[in-house]
């Protein structure tokens, strides 16, 4: 599903600069680390509606290229090679790595079909292990309000927050009809933290999954990364996490 008036993720313009690599040798080093670890790589395209699972076969800075294995499905591989925008996501030692590239080309690697993409000019390493994440109980729901369009700030989608950290949130929407897409940035997401206040920042969708309930209804779960969350709001989240942990500790006594 496409979302109107939603900006597309750009790791140079939109990401926290502390997490973005711009040095070509550093970027090549991360990519070669992913290759050495034989890390599973997800390549998303068609506004997040399609993806393949693959692995890096070679990193060739002399040709400014990354060579990746084809996916298991021929139809999806064909669609990927026709796409003009790819979001590439992997994990290096549990640290999320992602970048955007514009085009994939068919190639051969050691006698087998593969595809190649250009080495990116920037690469985002989300050091999520730096953030302590806490799951929130359903008995005391925390609400989030996602602004779907910069042109219509009153167009908000309500969701229940499942977990939270200073890096982002996971939330559940009661409907699957909301036009969300992996890799896109939404202008604001406000989270009402009981006894603390409201935090708000642009968010990037990093994960989407539809979950079937026992009654057959579907819910949509979305993972979001805060973009340039203000220090004061990080402090609010940390204060809320500390408060929730104290309450949980008391209940265990």
Question: Rounded to whole angstroms, how far apart are CA atoms 203 and 149?
Answer: 12
Choose one of 97, 121, 145: the last residue of a domain: 121
The reply to whether the predicted model has a pTM over 0.75 is no
**In this structure, how many other beta carbons lie within 10 angstroms of the beta carbon of residue 174?**
14
Question: Rounded to whole angstroms, how far apart are CA atoms 80 and 77?
Answer: 5
Residue 96 lies inside a defined structural domain of this protein: yes
Residue 110 lies inside a defined structural domain of this protein: yes
Question: Rounded to whole angstroms, how far apart are CA atoms 212 and 149?
Answer: 28
* HSE of 152, CA atoms in CB hemisphere, 13 A: 10
Residue 223 lies inside a defined structural domain of this protein: yes
What is the domain extent for residue 63?
23-121
Count how many domains the chain has: 2
Q: Write the CB contacts of 117 (distance below 8 Å, at least 6 apart in sequence).
A: 65, 66, 68, 86, 88, 101, 103, 104, 105
3-state DSSP assignment of residue 233: helix
Please choose, from the candidates 8, 43, 50, the residue with its C-alpha nearest in 3D space to the C-alpha of residue 117. Answer: 43
Q: What is the CATH number of the domain that holds 224?
A: 2.40.10.220
Residue 156 lies inside a defined structural domain of this protein: yes
**Local confidence pLDDT in tens for the 253 residues of the chain:** 333 333 333 333 344 556 788 999 999 999 999 999 888 898 988 877 788 989 999 999 999 999 999 988 899 999 999 999 999 988 876 678 889 998 899 999 999 999 999 999 999 887 554 567 788 877 788 999 999 888 888 889 999 999 998 889 999 998 888 888 888 889 999 999 998 999 999 998 888 888 777 787 788 889 898 888 888 888 899 888 888 877 776 666 5
């Amino acid at each position: 599903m496409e979302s109107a008036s939603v900006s597309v993720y750009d790791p140079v313009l939109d990401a926290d600069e502390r997490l973005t690599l711009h040095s070509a040798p550093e970027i090549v080093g991360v990519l070669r680390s992913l290759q050495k670890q034989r890390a599973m790589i997800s390549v998303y395209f068609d506004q997040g509606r399609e993806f393949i699972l693959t692995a890096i076969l070679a990193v060739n800075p002399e040709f400014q290229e990354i060579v990746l294995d084809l996916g298991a499905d021929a139809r999806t591989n064909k669609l990927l090679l026709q796409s003009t925008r790819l979001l590439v996501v992997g994990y290096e030692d549990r640290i999320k790595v992602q970048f955007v590239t514009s085009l994939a080309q068919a190639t051969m690697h050691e006698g087998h079909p593969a595809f190649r993409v250009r080495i990116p000019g920037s690469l985002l390493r989300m050091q999520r292990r730096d953030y302590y994440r806490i799951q929130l109980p359903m008995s005391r729901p925390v609400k989030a309000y996602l602004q779907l369009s910069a042109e219509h700030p009153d167009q908000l989608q309500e969701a229940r927050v499942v977990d939270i950290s200073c890096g982002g949130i996971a939330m559940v929407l009661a409907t699957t009809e909301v036009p969300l897409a992996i890799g896109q940035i939404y202008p604001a997401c406000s989270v009402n933290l009981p006894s603390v206040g409201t935090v708000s920042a642009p968010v990037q969708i990093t994960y989407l999954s539809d979950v079937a309930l026992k009654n057959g209804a579907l819910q949509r779960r979305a993972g979001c990364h805060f973009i340039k969350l203000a220090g004061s709001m990080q402090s609010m989240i940390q204060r809320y996490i500390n408060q929730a942990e104290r309450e949980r500790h008391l209940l265990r006594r």
